[in-house]
Amino acid sequence: MSTFNRNTLVKVLEILDSSHAQEALAAAKLASAMVREAGLTWDQVIDEAILPRAAAPSSPAQEPAQGRTPGAGPFGYRRERELSPHEQFFMVLLSPRTPVDIKRKLRAWEGRVLDGEITPQESADLQFMYQSFVVG
């Protein structure tokens, strides 16, 4: 997946309703990064969502942003950008390619990931899952 994905943004934004403040904050930061990395503004993203589906022109969010690096990574991120554990966590959790048992395991890590308290081994495991289920 090398272009901005509106459906993924919607899933991330749904996390804003979380009763866990750190989870909601991480989702907000991830959503902002997704929009910024795609070369869009929030005004552009929201404007497209307000138009009736039948009247909406082809969305610029579905096309690669002008001036974006040709080797863009998943969810519109540039490959040269190092992702935080929060971002990797949510991308793995939201990826349709991630098996259900892995998602259950991740839910057990959620509080520690959001608090920045994961072990080096868990960080390496998270990186592996990200490479396997998001980038892969």
User: Cα-flanking dihedrals φ and ψ of residue 41, to 5°?
Assistant: -115, 160
Beta carbons of 95 and 73 less than 8 angstroms apart: no
The pLDDT tens digits for 1-56 are 336 788 888 888 888 887 777 778 888 888 888 888 888 888 888 876 555 555 44
Entry pTM: 0.47
pLDDT confidence of 115, banded at 50, 70, 90? confident
Domain boundaries, the chain: 6-135
The pLDDT tens digits for 45-93 are 887 655 555 544 554 444 444 444 444 555 555 455 677 788 888 888 8
